[in-house]
Amino acid sequence: MFFRWYFNFFILLIVYACNNSTTIHRSVYSQEKESIHIKYAKHFGILKQNHKKIIFITENYKDTVFFEVNHPYSRIAVLGTIPAFQLYLLSAVQNIVAIDDIKYYNCNEIKKLYNSQHIAGVLPNLQWNYELLITSRPELLITYSDLSDNSKLQSILKSNHIQHLLYLDYLEQEPLGRAEWIKVLGHLINKDSLAEKIFSEIEQQYLQLKKCTDTCIYRPKILTETMYGDVWYIAGNQSYIAQLIKDAGGKYAFDFHTYENSQPYSLEYVLKYAQDADIWIHLHQFKSLQEIKNTNTKLAMFKAFQNKQCYNNNKIRNGYAYNDYYESGICMPHRILQDLIDIFHPHYLEQKEMHYYYPLPEK
C-alpha cells in the first residue's frame, strides 16, 4: 500500500530519516504544516509551510524524493507530453522553454511556440542535446526518469543550478489519479488554486459519467490491445485501462488477472478467454478490419471482429502519427470515459461525435 498524504510530524520525520537522498533540512518538519488533500493519486503528496511547499514523489515506501518549492518556476524544461499539456491547461504553456521532441506533441500551442523557437527540442532521436538544454535556461527540468544512470546530466544540472523533478503519473492506476498530477504543476508555478479548480471540474464530469453506468445490468465483455510479434500484452485487473472499462460499464475480459501492469501471453491464450468478447478496443497500428485479417487470419476468429465491433483510440494524430489520446486524453479522462460509454452503451449518452475513438472500417 502506498503513501497516504495525511502526514503528521512523526511520520514525516521517520520518512525523512529513512531517505538519504533528500536535501530538505530536518527543521522543515519542526514547524506547523498544511497537508494538501490528494484524493486519487498515490504517488505524490504536497505540504505547505509558510511560503514554502514540499512535494513528495514516491514509487514505493523505499523510494521517495522530496522536492522543496521556494519560488514559482517560470522557465521549465518538460520532457513529457502529459506535464506539458497540463501546463497548457493551466494557461502556462509560455513557461515551457524546452521539450524532448516535437514529433510527440499534438497541442497546437506547444507546436506554435516550438516553431517560433520559444521552445527548444533537447532530446532528438533519444540523444541529449545538452547545449540546447543549457541555452534554454530552465530553472527546472521535469522528466519521467530519475537520471540516476546519467552522471553527465546530473553534473550539468548542478553546475547550472537547474533543479530536477521526477514525474510518475504513469504509475497511477486510477484515471483521476493521473489527472490529479496537475496539482503538482499548479504548486510549482503558483497556480495551485487554478489547478484545484481544473481538477475538480474534471473529477465532477468523470463521476457524473460514471454514475450513468453504476447500475447497468448488461456489461459487454471487452478485449484490449493486439499482437506485438508473437505476444499479446494483457493488462491486469488493477490497471488503468481495466478501471476505465469498469467505470464505463464494461466487463474486462481478463479481470481475473490480479496484477497491475501488462504481461505477455500467446494468441492461443487470448482466444481461449476472450474469443467471445463483444467489443475490441485499442488496436494500435491497425486502420481497418482488413488489415487485421491480413496480419493474422486467426485474429478474425474473435467475435468482436466478426460483428465489426473494433474501435481504435488514435482518431487524433499529429503528422508523425503520435496519438492525442496519450496527451490530452490522459489529462482529461472524462473525455475517454465518455467515448467508452458511447461504445459500450450507445443509447446512454447524446454524444454526437467521439473524442479519441472510432470504429475501424472494413477496408
pLDDT in tens, 45-89: 999 887 789 999 998 766 788 999 989 999 999 999 999 999 999
Look-up: residue for cell 497548457? 88
**pLDDT tens sequence across 162-204:** 999 999 999 999 999 999 999 999 999 999 999 999 999 999 9
Q: What's 7's DSSP letter? A: -
Judge contact between 35 and 55, C-beta under 8 A. no
Give the sheet arrangement for strand 140-143, strand by strand: 120-121, 96-99, 76-78, 140-143, 163-166
Q: Report the pLDDT value the prediction gives residue 125, as an integer from 0 to 100.
A: 64
What confidence score (pLDDT) does residue 47 get? 93
Give the burial string for 25-55 (b: 16+ CB within 10 Å, else e).
Answer: eeebbeeebeebebebbbbbbbbbeeeebbb
For 75, the 3-state DSSP assignment is coil
**This model's pTM is above 0.85:** yes
Whole-angstrom Cα distance, residue 296 to residue 150? 41
Helix axes 240-247, 333-344, angle to 10 degrees: 60
Domains and CATH numbers, the chain: 9-69 (no CATH), 76-204 (3.40.50.1980), 216-359 (3.40.50.1980)
Q: What confidence score (pLDDT) does residue 111 get?
A: 98
| Cβ pair 355, 315 in contact under 8 A | yes
What is the pLDDT, as a whole number, of residue 13?
39
Angle at 82 between CA 78 and CA 88, to 5 degrees: 75
Q: What is the pLDDT of residue 29?
A: 42
Number of other residues whose CB lies within 10 A of the CB of residue 21? 10
Cβ neighbors of 222 (< 8 A, separation 6 or more) are 245, 250, 251, 252, 253, 277, 278, 279, 280, 281, 344
Backbone angles phi, psi at 268, to 5 degrees: -65, -40
Place of cell 498530477: 181
- What distance in Å separates the CA atoms of residue 208 and residue 334, rounded to the nearest whole number? 9
Strand order of the β-sheet with 231-235 is 227-228, 231-235, 262-265
| pLDDT, position 23 | 41
Q: What is the pLDDT of residue 124?
A: 73
Residues facing 44 on adjacent strands = 57
Identity of the residue numbered 48:
K
Low-confidence ranges of the chain (pLDDT < 70): 1-33, 61-62, 125-126
Beta strands in 82-198 (DSSP E): 96-99, 120-121, 140-143, 163-166
| Distance, CA of 83 to CA of 49 (rounded, Å) | 25
Residues contacting residue 318 through CB under 8 Å, at least 6 positions apart: 103, 105, 106, 324
Residue type, 92: A
> What is the pLDDT at residue 15?
46
Query: What does the pLDDT read at residue 32?
Result: 55
Q: What is the pLDDT of residue 123?
A: 86
